[in-house]
Chains A and B, each alone.
Chain A
Amino acid sequence: MIELISSMVPDTLAAHAPALLIAIPMLMAPIAAFMPSGRIAWILSILATGFSLVMAIVLVSQVQSIEGGAVISYAMGGWRPDAGIEFRIDALNSMILLLVSTIGFLAAIFSWPTVLAEIREAKTAMFYSAYLVCFTGLAGVASTGDAFNLFVFLEISSIATYVLVALGASRDRRALPAAGNYLLLGTIGASFFVVGVGFLYAATGTLNMAELAIRLESVQDNKAVFAGYAFIVVGLGIKAAMFPLHQWLPNAYAYSPSFVTMFLAATATKVALYALVRFLFTVFGLEFAFEGSTLIWILMPMGIAAMIACSFQAVFQTDVRRTLAYSSVAQVGYMLLGISIGTAAGVSAGLFHLVNHALIKGALFMALAGVVLTYQGTSLQDMRGLGRSSPWTMTAFAIGAVSLIGVPLTAGFQSKYVLVTALFEHGWWWAVAVVMFSSLLAVVYMGRILEAVFFRAPTNPNKRHKEAPLLILIPLWILALANIWVGVQGGFVAGLADDAAASLFIGGAP
C-alpha cells in the first residue's frame, strides 16, 4: 500500500517531500485563522494533515527503497547543510513522521463534534489554526537535522499547545492553572535545551547534528560538553515527561479539551522522546552517553520509578482521564527502560512501544472524547453502565485498555514481549519482574474502569442510549483495529522500529 500511494505522487512533490510536509500545514495555519466559519477551517486542517500524511508515506518509501534504510538530506533553500539548515530523514525520522501525521490526520477528522461541543463557536477557526501550528512544530522536530532549529520547532509546537490546553477553560476553569504550569515548566525545559546546545556550539562550532556527532568525538573530555549533555537531557526530559519531571502532565491532560488530550497524549511526549533518543545516540554517540557518563544509572532508575510510582498513582484516581494521564507517564517509563539498555534490541523495543503507546492512548482518549460529548463527565461513576448504552464506543475503549495491559493479540503485548526479550538478553531479569508488576498494576487500574463500564448498572441520570457520532467512531475504530493488527501481525511496525534502531547504531554518525 505504501508503494501504491508513493507511486501516485508526482516526482517534483516527492523530491521536496521533507519541506512540503512542514510547509503546507504551516501555511494553512494563518489561512485557517481567517476563515469565517470553523467548518472551513476544519476541512482545511484535514486537507493539510492529510497531505502531510501522504508526504510522510512518500518519505517512508524513499527511506525503505535502499536495504538498511536510506538517509534523505534536504538542504533548506538550497544552502549546503554545513552553511544552512538541513532536513535529515533517516529510518527513525520517517517512522516518527509517519506516526505524527497519521495521528494528526485521524485527530483532525474526529475533532469536529468534540470541538463544536467544547469550544466557543467564534473561536473554532482559531482553534484549528493553533492545532495546525502545533502539528507543524511536532513534524518539524521530527525532521530537522539542525540542533537550534529543533529548539525553534519544539517551541512552535509548545506555545500552540499551551493555548490549546488553556482552551479547556470553557468546560473547567482548572485548565487555566494547568496551562500556566505547563507553560512555566515547558519553557524552562526548552531553555535548558538551548543552554545545552550553546555549550555544544561553544565546544564544536557547529549546530548541524550530523556534524556535531563527528566533531564531538575529538572533544569528549571537554567539561563544556558534559555540561551541555546534562542540560539537554534534563530539558528534553521535562518535555518528554520523564519521571520526576512529569508534574505538568496529569493536570494538562485532565482539563484540556478532549481532542487536545488525545492529540497530545499520542504525539507530543513521543516527539520529545524522539529528540532525546536522537541526541543520546546520534549526537553524543553510544560510548559517550552510556560509558563516558553514567546515563544508564539515570535513565533506567527513572524509567522503573515511573513504571511503579505512576502506576500506583493511576490506581487511586477517580477521574478516568487522570488515570490515563498517570498511566502515560508510566508508559514513558517502559520506553526509557528499553532505551537505557543501550543495545539495538532494547532501543528497538523502546521505539516499538512508543508507536504502540501512541495507538493505544489515541484510541483510549478518542473513546473518552465520545463519552465527554454524550455524558459530560469522565469520573469513574460517570463511566458506569456505558457498555450497555454505547457498546461501539466502549468496545473500542476496551480494546485499547486490553492493549494497554498487554494481553496477547494486541499491540501492547507485542512491544512488551520485545522489551522483555531484550531485557533477558541483557541479563536484567529483575527488570522483567518490574515490567510484570507494573503490568499487573495496569490490570488493576484499567480493570476498575472496565468493571464500571461493563458490569455496573448506570447511575448517571443523563445517560441515554447514545453512541458517539460516526465522525468519532470511524477514526476510533481505525485506531482500535490498528492495535489488533499490530498485535496479530506486528511485522510492519516492528520492522520500522528495527530499522530505526539500526540506523542509530551504524557507525555512531547517521
Chain B
Amino acid sequence: MLEFILERGNYWAIIGLMMIGLYIAFASTNLIKRLIGLGLFQTSIILFYISLSRIDGGTAPILFGKDYKKDKGHGEGYGEAGDHAGEAAEHSAQAADAAYGAAKAYGEAGMENVYSNPLPHVLMLTAIVVGVATLAVGLAIIVRIREAYGTVEADEIRAMDLEVAIAEAAADAEQGKAGAV
C-alpha cells in the first residue's frame, strides 16, 4: 500500500496543488490572491500533462546517436514532401500521407534510444500561452476594478454594489408611484 502511494508521488503532488489552487481561487476575498490560486491550478494541470509524457528510462525527445543519422535520411524525404505540399490540395494530401507514412515506418523500425513522448510538452506550451493571456486579462481587469472601486477585496466590492442596487430599487419604486399617480 505504502509503495503504491509513494510510486505515484507526482500525482499526489498534482492533486494537492490543484486543490490548494481551487481553494484559494474560491475562498480568498482578495482578487489578486484569487488569480494566484487560478495560476496554481493551471500550473498543476501542466505538471499533470508532463507526468503523462514520461516513459521509463526515456530521455528528452531530441534524436541523438544512431537515431539522428537515420532521421537525416528521412529528413530529406520530409523536405520533398513539404515542397510538393504547396502545389495543390490533392497533392498536398498525398505528400503529407507520404511524410506521415515515412514517419510511421521509421517509428516502427525502432529506435536506438528511448525517448519520452513530446506531444504533451507541445500541448502544454499552448496551455502556458493560454494561461499567460488569461492572467494578463485578469490583472488588467483588476487594475480597472481598483480604479473604479478603490479596493481589490471582493466582499467590499459586493457591499458597494449592494448599496447601489438598493438605491436603484428605491428610486425605481418612487418613479413607479409617481407613474401610478
Interface residues of A (CB under 8 A from B): 15-16, 75, 77-80, 83-84, 148, 151-152, 155, 159, 162-163, 166, 169, 173-174, 176-177, 179-180, 183-184, 187-188, 190-191, 194-195, 198, 201-202, 318, 379-381, 384, 456-457, 459-460
Beta-carbon nearest neighbor of A12 in chain B? B89
Q: B172 and A176: CB pair below 8 A? A: no
Q: B145 and A381: CB pair below 8 A? A: no
| CA gap between A173 and B145 in the complex, in Å | 8
Beta-carbon nearest neighbor of B81 in chain A? A78
Contact with A155, one of B22, B130, B145, B154 (Cβ below 8 angstroms): B130
Give B127 Cβ to nearest chain A Cβ, in Å. Answer: 7
Q: A163 and B137: CB pair below 8 A? A: yes
Contact with B145, one of A78, A177, A379 (Cβ below 8 angstroms): A177
Q: B120 and A201: CB pair below 8 A? A: yes
Q: B38 and A80: CB pair below 8 A? A: no
Give B31 Cβ to nearest chain A Cβ, in Å. Answer: 6
Q: A195 and B130: CB pair below 8 A? A: no
Give B137 Cβ to nearest chain A Cβ, in Å. Answer: 5
Complex interface: chain A residues within 8 A of B172 (CB): 318, 379-381
Most buried by B among A80, A84, A191, A198: A191
Beta-carbon nearest neighbor of A456 in chain B? B179
22 interchain pairs (CB within 8 A)? Answer: A75-B93, A78-B92, A79-B96, A80-B96, A80-B100, A83-B100, A84-B96, A155-B130, A173-B148, A176-B144, A176-B145, A176-B149, A179-B141, A180-B31, A184-B25, A187-B134, A188-B38, A194-B45, A198-B49, A201-B52, A318-B168, A457-B179
Complex interface: chain A residues within 8 A of B103 (CB): 83
Beta-carbon nearest neighbor of B117 in chain A? A205
| Contact A174 to B48, CB < 8 A, known contacts A184-B34, A194-B127, A457-B179 | no
Question: Any chain A CB within 8 A of the CB of B73?
Answer: no
Question: Any chain A CB within 8 A of the CB of B112?
Answer: no
| CA gap between A79 and B78 in the complex, in Å | 12
Contact with A183, one of B41, B85, B137, B154 (Cβ below 8 angstroms): B137
Contact with A along B139-181 (1 / 0, CB 8 A): 0111011001100001001100100100011001001101100
Complex interface: chain A residues within 8 A of B141 (CB): 162, 166, 176, 179-180, 183
| Contact A159 to B52, CB < 8 A, known contacts A173-B149, A177-B145 | no
| Contact A381 to B142, CB < 8 A, known contacts A187-B134, A198-B45 | no
Contact with A180, one of B127, B138, B161 (Cβ below 8 angstroms): B138
| Contact A166 to B22, CB < 8 A, known contacts A184-B34, A195-B48 | no
Q: A459 and B175: CB pair below 8 A? A: yes
Complex interface: chain B residues within 8 A of A162 (CB): 137-138, 141
Give B13 Cβ to nearest chain A Cβ, in Å. Answer: 15
| CA gap between A15 and B137 in the complex, in Å | 37
Q: B137 and A318: CB pair below 8 A? A: no
A sample of 17 more A-B contacts (CB under 8 A), given A78-B93, A162-B141, is A78-B85, A78-B96, A83-B103, A148-B123, A174-B161, A176-B148, A177-B145, A177-B161, A180-B138, A184-B34, A184-B35, A187-B38, A187-B138, A188-B25, A194-B45, A459-B176, A460-B175
